[in-house]
Amino acid sequence: ASLSAHSSHYVPLPPTERRSISDVRRTFCLFVTFDLLFISLLWIIELNINKSIWLNLDKEVVRYDFRSSFFDIFLLAVFRFLCLQIAYAAFKLRHWWVIAITTLVTSAFLITKVIVSDLLTENAFGYVIPITSFVVAWLETWFLDFKVLTQEAEDERAYLAAVNAACESGHLFYPRAVSDGQFYSPPESLAGSDDDLDEEGLGRKAVTAQEREFVRQGREAMAVMEQILSQEENWKFEKNNDIGDCVYTLEIPFHGKTFILKALLQCSAELVYQEVILQPEKMVQWNRTISACQILQRVDDNTSVSYDVSSGAAGGVVSPRDFVNVRRVERRRDRYVSAGMSTVHSSKPPHHRYVRGENGPGGFVVLKSSSNPSLCTFIWVLNTDLK
C-alpha cells in the first residue's frame, strides 16, 4: 500500500468490532479458569480415595461439616472464579479492589479452616488443597497487579500519546510565519544511496568513538523505521476518530508491540518538519504525556541526543519516566524522517526521581502530497518500554 494514501478511507468501527480485551488480561482470565478447574480436580481425586465418590459427596456436601469437609474450599474457588471473571472479563475493570476482596476472603477463610478443622489428620489432601488454593489466589493477585494493570497502563499511555497527537495536530500545524533561515535543515539524501552514508561529511562530523556509536544507533533506528513503513499492509488497525486519523499496532521482532498513528494534516510537509522534527523541545506543547524535552548533544548534521521526561499515567499506576534517546533526521525527495531509539549519555545518568524507560526504534515521518502541497501525511511510530 502506498504510504502517501490518505488514512481517511477507514470508517469508524463499532465498539463491538474492536479488540475488547488485551492479551495479558485474556491470559489472566485463563489462569482464573485454571484455578477453578485445578481445585475441582483435586477435590474429585480426594472424593475417590477411600470410599465411593457418591458416599463421600453425601458426607461432604449433604452432611457438611466445616471441620472435615473440602466442599467449602471448592465453593471458595467458585467464588473467586465468578467474582474475577465478572469484574475483569465481563466489566473489564482496571482496578485491583475486586481481587483484593477475593484474596482477603480466601486467605482469612483458609487460615481459619486450617486452625480449627481436622483436615490435617485426614490425608495428604488436608495439606495439598488448602495450600494450593492459598498460593493460586495470591498468584492471581500478583499477576493482575504487576502484569495486567501495568501492561495495560503502558499500552494506554502509548495509545493516548498517539491520539493526543492526532487531536491536537490541528492546533499545532495551522499555518503561521516561519522564515526560511530560522532552522538548520540536514542535507537531502536518497534512501540507499552512497551519498546517504557519507552525508555527515558535508557539515558537523562525529569525531569520538561515542559520537560514532550515536551515529550507528541512529542509522539502526532509521533502518527499522524503513522496515516498518514498508510493511504497511501488516499494520493491525486499532481505532480511528471522526476525521480519519488512525491508530495501528505492529509486532516487531526483538522490540515487541509498536503503535503507529497515521493522520492527514491540512498543512505543508515543510511546516511539520520545521515545527516537529527540527524542534523536539516543542513536543511538550502538543504531547500531553511529555513534561520536559531538551537536546543534550548535537553529534553531527543528522544526529542528536535528547532527554525526555514523561508525566505519570493511569492515576498513578505508572509513575513518571525519563528517557535518553538518539535521533537521526533525514530529508528525502518525498518525505522527512526522524528516527530514534534509547541510548546512554554521560550527562543524564538514571535519577532517583524517575524510572528510566526505554524507547525502541520509532519516530516521525512526514509524507509530501504529490497533488496538493498544502497537505501532508503524518506518521508517528511509538515503541516504549516503561520498565
pTM of the model: 0.55
pLDDT of amino acid 269: 92
Residue 205 Cα distances to 23, 185, 216, 300, 302, angstroms: 45, 15, 13, 5, 9
pLDDT of amino acid 340: 94
pLDDT of amino acid 71: 92
C-alpha cell read off for 382: 511509538
Q: Boundaries of CATH 3.30.530.20 in the chain?
A: 172-385
| Average pLDDT, 10 consecutive residues per value, the chain (387 residues) | 36 41 90 96 88 86 88 95 95 92 96 85 83 96 91 71 51 41 47 43 71 93 93 90 86 86 91 88 82 90 91 64 93 93 92 86 93 92 80
pLDDT of amino acid 142: 95
* Residue 293 bridge partners (DSSP): 308
Cα–Cα distance, 273 to 329 (Å, whole number)? 10
pLDDT of amino acid 196: 44
pLDDT of amino acid 150: 84
Cα–Cα distance, 89 to 174 (Å, whole number)? 43
Residue 336 CB-density burial (10 A; 0-12 exposed, 13-18 middle, 19+ buried): buried
pLDDT of amino acid 384: 82
What CATH topology corresponds to 172-385? Alpha-D-Glucose-1,6-Bisphosphate; Chain A, domain 4 (3.30.530)
